[in-house]
Amino acid sequence: MPTERSALAIVLAAGEGTRMKSDRPKALHEVAGRSMLANVLSSAVKAGVSRVAVIVGPGRDDVGAEARRCIPDAEMFVQSERRGTAHAVLAARAAIAAGCDDLIVLFADTPLLTAPTIGAMRAAIAEGAAVAVLGFEAYNPFGYGRLLRDAEGRLVAIREEKDASEDERALTLCNGGLMAIDGAHALRLLEKIDNKNAKGEFYLTDVVELARADGRDAKVVIADESEVLGVNDRIQLSQAEAVAQARLRRAAMAGGATMIAPETVFLSADAVIGRDVTIEPHVVIGPGVTIADGAVIHSFSHLEGASVGKGATIGPFARLRPGAALAEKAKVGNFVEIKNATVAQGAKVNHLTYIGDADIGANANIGAGTITCNYDGFLKYRTTIGANAFIGSNSSLVAPVTIGAGAYVGSGSVITKDIAPDALAVARGRQMEKAGWAASFRLMQAAKKAKGR
């Protein structure tokens, strides 16, 4: 796509999603760890769209906020009445009137659309078409609008099923709903659309016949049926999730990662996974995760908002929460949770440990059962553990506290004060021993029990 061409994407996101049975608007339900709206906007940006207008329903500031989180300069327009897709697009009349080379109409509930497909629609406009419609060959065409072509294969009309003849309903080339329009003529064509049809609505699809009446060509861009899957209920949401996960797994493996049982691994759309990474079964990689080359993620681990350094090892049964940052060859073992903490090169947090709001130095060793006590019920505080420090098992580090480089903490200690480098700190009750006490205690208790009978 020539970079000098401008493009305006209008994203229809006003649907409340009644069939979702949810308090959330449909556009904010998630596929692959991000909202369906965010997925659509991401594809639009990757396809070179320079401006975005989002059509929202009345009072849907939450949808507008999500759009601006993804694209800060996105324009918002309210569709106050529901009178068809063309009516919805014209809610952004001001944005269309401002001018563009390519006008792209997208739906927030079609989250599987890819940037190359948007690019193909834009290319059709660049090649001279007035309209480029995204079509697909339907396994079961029931309910879809049909794409009608002439003997030369040119698109002549889109017929909604309720308005289609019996012969037209037999066609399997269906309308995916998405289209591109020549920006120079888009507003004029859209304003010509009327509502003389079975539903009394303003159909965006009528733009094809109007363009043809002007002597302009309309083209069909073919996509896979899965790419135009619309989400209207929770069942379709799960179908979209399955498609998205299959794509993400293939992309990760094509990029050099090994997945032993890929069907059990779940990825977010923004995951960055390096070469020679190994991901064992039953791993969840949530939003905001980066995994560098050669890292190993063992089974039943959950990562979100975390970065994993080159050659690091995670799990099994580990949890990395937002802000966890592991350096090269760091190790986080089984039943360990890391939150808002850095683990420097070669450091080990092997098992049964909680590290929150902390910085762990290079090659430090954190023993089993250690916790950083980072929260007093009101505020959170930070723990700093120096390089090569050794924290004995079952220790509690009460923040704010600093443990110097090379220092040792005796097992079972509760540390409340800073420890100097290379020092030993032991903070626990002194052990005492009473010879023969246990034998005497048993005899006494046995006598009491016998007397009670």
Can you tell me the distance from the alpha carbon of 220 to that of 217, in angstroms, rounded to the nearest whole number?
10
Number of neighbours of residue 438 by Cβ within 10 angstroms: 9
User: What does the block give as tokens for 24?
Assistant: 């959330």
Residues serving a catalytic function are 351
Beta pairing class for 102-107 and 173-182? antiparallel
Task: Confirm whether pTM is higher than 0.75.
Answer: yes
Q: Are the CB atoms for 39 and 31 separated by under 8 Å? A: yes
3-state secondary structure of 42: helix
Q: Which amino acid is at 116?
A: P
Q: By the 8 A CB rule, do 267 and 32 touch? A: yes
Start-to-end Cα distance in the chain: 93
| DSSP code of residue 91 | G
* Per-residue pLDDT tens digits of the chain, which is 453 residues long: 445 899 999 999 998 888 999 999 999 999 999 999 999 999 999 999 999 999 999 999 999 999 999 999 999 999 988 889 999 999 999 999 999 999 999 999 999 999 999 999 999 999 999 999 999 999 999 989 899 998 888 898 888 888 889 999 999 999 999 999 999 999 999 999 999 877 888 989 899 999 999 999 999 999 999 999 999 999 999 999 999 999 999 999 999 999 999 999 999 999 999 999 999 999 999 999 999 999 999 999 999 999 999 999 999 999 999 999 999 999 999 999 999 999 999 999 999 999 999 999 999 999 999 999 999 999 999 999 999 999 999 999 999 999 999 999 999 999 999 999 999 999 998 889 999 999 999 999 999 998 875
Cβ neighbours, 10 Å, residue 165: 9
Both tokens of 54, joined, read 């989002």
Measure the CA angle with vertex 175, ends 172 and 178; round to 5°: 155
Among left, alpha and beta (phi > 0; psi -120 to 50; other), residue 394 is left
96 φ/ψ sector (left φ>0, alpha ψ -120 to 50, else beta): alpha
Report percent pLDDT > 90 for the chain: 88
Residue type, 99: G
Pairing of the two strands 131-137 and 173-182: antiparallel
The full length of the chain comes to 453
- pLDDT tens digit string along 200-258? 889 898 999 999 999 999 999 999 999 999 999 999 999 999 999 999 999 999 999 99
pLDDT in tens, 131-169: 999 999 999 999 898 999 988 888 988 888 888 899 999
How far apart are alpha carbons 417 and 427 in whole angstroms? 10
Q: Indicate the DSSP class of residue 412.
A: T
Closest to 56 (Cα-Cα) out of 96, 7, 15? 15
Q: What share of the chain is helix, strand, coil (3-state, %, to 5)?
A: 25, 30, 45
* Structural domains in the chain plus CATH codes: 7-228 (3.90.550.10), 251-425 (2.160.10.10)
